[in-house]
Amino acid sequence: MSAVGTLTPETARPSDGLLRRIGTVFYRRPVLALIALLLPTLLWIGVIYLGSLSALLVQSFFYLDGFSGRVIREFTLRTYGELLLQQNIDIFVRTIGMAAAVTFVSGLLAFPLAYYMARFASERMRALLYLGVMVPLWSSYLVRIYAWKLILAQEGIVVWLANLLGLQGALDWLLALPGIGGPSLSFSYIGVFVVFVYIWMPYMILPIHAALERVPRSVIEASADLGGRPGYTFRRVILPLAFPGVVAGSIFTFSLTLGDYIIPGVFGNSSYFIGQAVFVQQGTAGNIPLAAALTVVPVVVMGVYLLFARRLGAFDAI
Amino acid sequence: MRSDNQAPRAFGLSLAAFAVLVFLHFPIWLIALYAFTTEEASFTFPPPGLTLEWFGVLFQRSDFWNALGLSLVVALLSTAIAVILGTSTALAIYRSRFFGRDAIALMIILPIALPGIVTGIALRSALNLSGLNFSFWTIVIGHATFCVVTVYNNVVARLRRTNYSQIEASMDLGASITQTFRHVILPNIATALLAGAMLSFALSFDEVIVTTFTAGQQQTLPIWVYSQLQRPRDRPVTNVAALFVIATTFIPILLAYRFTRARTE
């Protein structure tokens, strides 16, 4: 009643005439309204963003003339041919391997927390835990990386703790491992790996939690009533039903690791990841075609990944 | 019988769950601790002493405050654009079925679904080609592009739970489309809109990857932190700045959380 009361005086306003007529046209012809509502976004994202992406793709078919250092604007596949050089293949293998390892371990660590949140925590505790996941997720990415610089430093807390527990030997052994070791934790692939897991894990927790919450209690009870022990119920009922959530989370951890150049830049050594290679090619090297072709790699990898993820039902779990 | 089996299992599980939670949070606690350390040249743990000195030093650093100011303005403007684009798209998409609807939804998600470096380099090379100079506005263009999705997602989720008959009733009772928007649609989506705007603000305020490509000489706060990270000259100042940044990003997160929760409960 009161809503009508507040509306009546305004409807009487003569200045409403034109707006009202326009409004009525839109209400009667939803297609016009649709176009009016979508036009700004279509212009912004459709033209600016997709336009930029297409321009980038086009440039990947140009090539950099090695002698003059200038980009030659004619169609060629030779820049894509350069991707097959051993040094570039190494970069892809290194990056994809890291993304896979980060995804696997994130899933392993995220699952218990998500499972506890969904099945055991009280209502109040659940809200607190949810906030406990959201706060690291949304707090500053760079500051959290900076925090790991403090943690992994030679004089930092990890080495201090290792000394305290008499584990220097183990730490030195770890750092001496070929391939993943380095002069200190803050300059090694171990460091890169730990920081990646830390930074992206919240993206894994949330979809797993959402999927676990949607497992109907009745299904679990049915399994128990039919004689399934808790472990059996977990393996045969809960895990398969929650798996799409794991896949959904893995999309984030995998994709985010694939494109990041800051973490390997801060903690890694001189062997590049894809993001760093792109950064160097477009910057100091001035080789935009190669940089563009390099960005196509993670996009294609993610495209394939998403196709598989969709088969596993990940999109219903987000 | 069943509870006997579950008790030790749940204990192990809760231990694992809290260990993971501690792993997620202790770096943030360390940031808070290091802001007070007396050590200037290294990251010694435990800190040899505690002091409030560096807070004063940070206060004097105009480069930090300029970066903070730029980040705030960029985030506000990008969020304003994202609110307009995200809300209008959500209103267009949530009830209609038309050709290309899924394509538009995908298009909006693309800027954060693709690796940031792809968005960054695409915008940079397009700006180069178009001959535009890198400026404050090029940063905003980049940020608004990937902020639209947070507003869109929040608003579209809320609209799906809103009864369309309310809107029809308002129109049938003679309200104009602007009145319907102000008195029916807006109150319904207000908290979702606010939550989306907060998240968009936080996203923009924290973004570094796209920004390094679309900023010219300007330093946003994340770029300032990044430059300190690469050549750690002023460690104590960076320690305090890090605590400051963490503390300020808490606020929009907590507010957004409240707004979305208040509605679902």
Q: List chain A domain ranges.
A: 15-72, 80-316
A29 or A156: whose pLDDT is higher?
Answer: A156
What pLDDT, on the 0 to 100 scale, is given for residue B195? 85
The CATH number for B169's domain is 1.10.3720.10
Give the least confident one: A173-177, A214-218, B41-45, B59-63. Answer: B41-45
Residues A35-47, mean pLDDT to the nearest whole number: 87
B216 touching A, CB under 8 A?
no
What residues in A contact B132, CB-CB < 8 Å? none
Q: Are the CB atoms for B191 and B245 separated by under 8 Å?
A: no
Report pTM. 0.85
> Confidence band (pLDDT; 50, 70, 90) for A114?
very high
Q: Is the peptide bond before B46 cis (omega within 30 degrees of 0)?
A: yes
**Interval A238-265: pLDDT, tens:** 888 888 889 989 988 998 899 899 999 9
How far B188 CA sits from the closest chain A CA (Å)? Answer: 14
Give the three-state DSSP class for B37: strand
Q: If you average pLDDT over residues A110-129, what whole number do you get?
A: 89
What residue ranges of chain B have pLDDT lower than 50? 1-5, 265
Look up tokens 């990947």; give the residue.
A60
With CA atoms as reference, report the closest residue to B87 among B39, B28, B45, B148.
B148
The pLDDT score that the predictor gives to residue B1 is 40
- CA atoms of B67 and B72, how far apart (whole Å): 9
ipTM field: 0.83
pLDDT of the residue at B223: 92
Question: Contact at 8 Å (CB) between A63 and A78?
Answer: yes
A118-136 average pLDDT score: 87
Q: Which residue in chain A is spatially nearest to B5 when comparing CA positions?
A: A230
Over residues A214-231, the mean pLDDT reads 87
Instruction: State how far residue A97 is from chain B, nearest Cα, in angstroms.
Output: 17
Q: What distance in Å separates residue A13's CA from the closest CA in chain B?
A: 11
User: Chain centroid to CA B128: how far?
Assistant: 27
B45: nearest CB among A33, A59, A157? A157
pLDDT reported for residue B20: 93
**Residues in chain A closer than 8 A to B180 (CB atoms):** 23
Query: Is B22 inside a domain boundary?
Result: no
Say if the Cβ atoms of A146 and B238 lie within 8 Å. Answer: yes
Side chain identity, residue B253: I
B246 vs A99 pLDDT, higher one: A99
Distance CA B64, CA A309 (A): 43
Quote the Cα angle for B69-B70-B74, to 5°.
120
Tell whether B106 is covered by a domain.
Answer: yes
The DSSP 8-state label assigned to residue B89 in this structure reads: H
Pick the residue of B3, B22, B24 with the most A CBs within 10 A to test the interface with A by mutation: B24
Query: Can you list the positions of beta strands (E) in chain A?
Result: 63-64, 71-72
What local confidence, expressed as pLDDT, does residue B141 receive? Answer: 92
Instruction: Tell me whether residues B88 and A40 touch, CB distance under 8 A.
Output: yes
- Chain A CB contacts of B181 under 8 Å are none
- Which residues partner with A222 through β-bridges? none
User: Are B208 and A142 a contacting pair at CB < 8 A?
Assistant: yes
pLDDT at A91: 93
pLDDT score, position A1:
40
Tell whether B39 is covered by a domain: no
Answer yes or no: are the C-beta atoms of B252 and B202 closer than 8 Å.
yes
Question: Are A143 and B246 in contact (CB < 8 Å)?
Answer: yes
Please give the pLDDT value at position B7: 53
Pairwise CB contact (< 8 Å): A295 & B199 = no
Is residue B185 within 8 Å of B88, Cβ to Cβ? no
Given CB atoms, is B226 within the 8 Å cutoff of chain A?
Answer: yes
Q: Which domain holds residue B130?
A: 61-264
- Please tell me which residue of chain B has the smallest CA distance to A50: B107
Of A147, A149, A259, nearest to B117 by CB-CB distance is A259
Whether A200 has a pLDDT exceeding 60, the answer reads yes
Q: What is the pLDDT of residue B263?
A: 54
User: Lowest-pLDDT range, A42-46, A163-167, A282-286?
Assistant: A282-286
Query: CATH assignment of A80-316?
Result: 1.10.3720.10
Contact yes or no for B176 and A11 at CB 8 A: yes
Assess if residue B2 is contained within a domain. no
Q: Kindly calculate the radius of gyration of chain B based on its CA atoms and give it in whole angstroms.
A: 23
pLDDT at A312: 81
Under a CB-based contact definition with an 8 Å cutoff, are residues B198 and B250 in contact? no
Contact B125 A144 (CB under 8 A): no
Q: Does residue B163 lie in a domain region? A: yes
pLDDT at residue number B185: 87
> Terminus-to-terminus CA distance in chain A, angstroms?
40
Report the mean per-residue pLDDT for chain A. Answer: 85
Tell me how many domains chain B contains. Answer: 1
Chain B residues close to A92, C-beta within 8 Å: none
For residue A273, the 8-state DSSP code is: P
* Selection from A269, A277, A273, A264 nearest residue A148 by Cα: A264
Looking at CA atoms only, how far is residue A40 from chain B in angstroms? 6
Q: Which of B144, B171, B253 sits opposite A138 (nearest CB)?
A: B253
pLDDT of residue A185: 83
* Length of chain B as a residue count: 265
